[in-house]
């Protein structure tokens, strides 16, 4: 899959499928995106290749107090991915709306729904959590194995 910013200056290519796709309904994501939730596909950094200009990294506050780093196009300022302190630079939370075909990455899970907008409804069978969840209970086995390998690599650096 490929994607990029609105003006086309920043472009990227994704290798394989995401670890998981989060629809985050926290009030910070609502404010950051200007909509009812952020939709992020989690990818290991080596699976996100830049094929045009590099984004600029903007330090942004977060509810945890630890902040996040948002990669934005230096021209049109569209956010294409973020890094959060928990995974650091090893995992990119790619903004699904910046994909050329965002329909390929529907949400796997809805998180922090305790602060969702009251008129937001979920489809039958959706995985919905008031706050966060236990990765071992939610992620598919293949994603858990990729995460295990990633954590091992992070320990070595």
**Three-class SS state of 45:** helix
Q: How far apart are CA 40 and CA 112, in angstroms?
A: 14
What are residue 143's phi and psi, to 5 degrees? Answer: -70, -40
Percent of the residues in the chain that have a pLDDT greater than 90, as a whole number: 79
Q: CA dihedral defined by 19, 84, 50, 54, rounded to 10 degrees?
A: 170
Contact 49, 61 (CB under 8 A): no
Q: How far apart are CA 129 and CA 70, in angstroms?
A: 25
**Three-class SS state of 83:** strand
pTM over 0.75, yes/no: yes
Over residues 98-154, the pLDDT tens digits come to 999 999 999 999 999 999 999 999 999 999 999 999 999 999 999 999 999 998 888
Range 2-156: architecture per CATH = Beta Complex (2.170)
Q: What is the pLDDT of residue 157?
A: 64
Kindly tell me if the per-residue pLDDT of 48 is higher than 80. Answer: yes
Q: What is the pLDDT of residue 64?
A: 72
Give the Å distances, CA to CA, from 130 to 62, 70, 116, 125.
Answer: 18, 25, 9, 15
Contact 144, 134 (CB under 8 A): no
Contact 67, 60 (CB under 8 A): yes
Where do the structural domains in the chain lie, given as residue ranges? 2-156
């Amino acid at each position: 899959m490929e994607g990029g910013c609105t003006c086309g200056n920043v472009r990227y290519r994704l290798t394989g499928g995401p670890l998981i796709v989060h629809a985050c309904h926290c009030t910070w994501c609502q404010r950051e995106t200007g909509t009812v939730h952020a939709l992020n596909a989690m990818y290991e950094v080596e699976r996100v290749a830049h094929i045009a200009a590099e984004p600029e990294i903007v330090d942004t506050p977060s509810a945890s107090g630890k902040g996040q780093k948002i990669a934005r196009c230096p021209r049109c300022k569209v956010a294409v991915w973020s890094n959060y302190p928990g995974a650091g630079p090893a995992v990119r939370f790619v903004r699904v709306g910046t994909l050329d075909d965002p329909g390929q990455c529907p949400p796997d899970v809805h998180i922090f729904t305790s602060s969702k907008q009251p008129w937001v409804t979920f489809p039958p069978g959706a995985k919905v959590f008031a706050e966060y969840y236990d990765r071992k209970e939610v992620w598919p086995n293949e994603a858990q194995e990729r995460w295990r390998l990633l954590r091992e690599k992070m320990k070595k650096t």
